[in-house]
């Protein structure tokens, strides 16, 4: 029962802050990144058939891991592009000693100093294959 409960909580959610509406069709398309010492630069691509959200984030690896900078661009069919900054509420980073590093957490998408969406990402392996760097 606990394992089933943990699996249900380990899914991506994108929720609008003003009314709590969840974008249930959105899923994680890719998670890429590069680690250089105590720096991790990552790119998350989340979306569905109607839109794509790209989050660029730079982390300082330590105890705890800390988001140094983050921004996003969200293109949606029939709607203006949204862009702004990313704020981290909680970050999970597994260093990848036994495999690829993993990243997850709870993030807010901010525009004009207002939190628009909450994005919760389960701990997901970072694709580092063939990546010399991630934009931004």
> What tens digit of pLDDT does each residue of 10-45 get?
799 999 999 999 999 999 999 999 988 899 999 999
Share of the chain above pLDDT 70, in %: 85
Whether residue 78 is predicted with pLDDT greater than 60 in this model: the reply is yes
Mean pLDDT calculated for residue range 61-80: 94
Any domain includes 5: no
Beta strands at 82-94 and 51-60: parallel, antiparallel or unpaired:
unpaired
- The pLDDT-based confidence of 100 (bands split at 50, 70, 90) is confident
Any domain includes 19: yes
Any domain includes 99: yes
Average pLDDT, whole number, for the chain? Answer: 87
Whether residue 2 is predicted with pLDDT greater than 60 in this model: the reply is no
Any domain includes 1: no
Distance of CA 75 to the CA centre of its chain: 16
Any domain includes 136: no
Count structural domains, the chain.
Answer: 1
Any domain includes 103: yes
What tokens were used for 14? 């994108």
Any domain includes 56: yes
Question: Which residues lie below 8 Å from residue 4, measured CB to CB, with a gap of 6+?
Answer: none
Q: Containing domain of residue 108, as a range?
A: 11-125
- The pLDDT-based confidence of 61 (bands split at 50, 70, 90) is very high
Any domain includes 37: yes
Whether residue 99 is predicted with pLDDT greater than 80 in this model: the reply is no
Q: What is the pTM of this model?
A: 0.85
3 state DSSP class of 97: coil
pLDDT at 10: 72
How many of the other CB atoms lie within 10 Å of CB of 78?
6
């Amino acid at each position: 029962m606990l394992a089933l409960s943990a699996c249900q909580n380990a899914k991506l959610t994108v929720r609008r802050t003003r009314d709590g509406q969840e974008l249930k069709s959105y899923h994680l398309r890719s998670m890429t990144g590069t680690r250089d010492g105590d720096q991790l630069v990552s790119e998350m691509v989340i979306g569905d058939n109607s839109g794509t959200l790209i989050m660029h984030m730079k982390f300082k690896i330590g105890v705890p891991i800390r988001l140094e900078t983050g921004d996003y661009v969200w293109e949606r069919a029939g709607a203006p592009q949204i862009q702004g900054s990313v704020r981290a509420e909680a970050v999970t980073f597994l260093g990848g000693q036994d495999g690829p590093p993993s990243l997850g957490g709870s993030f807010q998408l901010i525009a004009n100093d207002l939190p628009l969406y909450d994005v919760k990402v389960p701990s997901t392996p970072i694709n580092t294959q063939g990546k010399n760097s991630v934009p931004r």
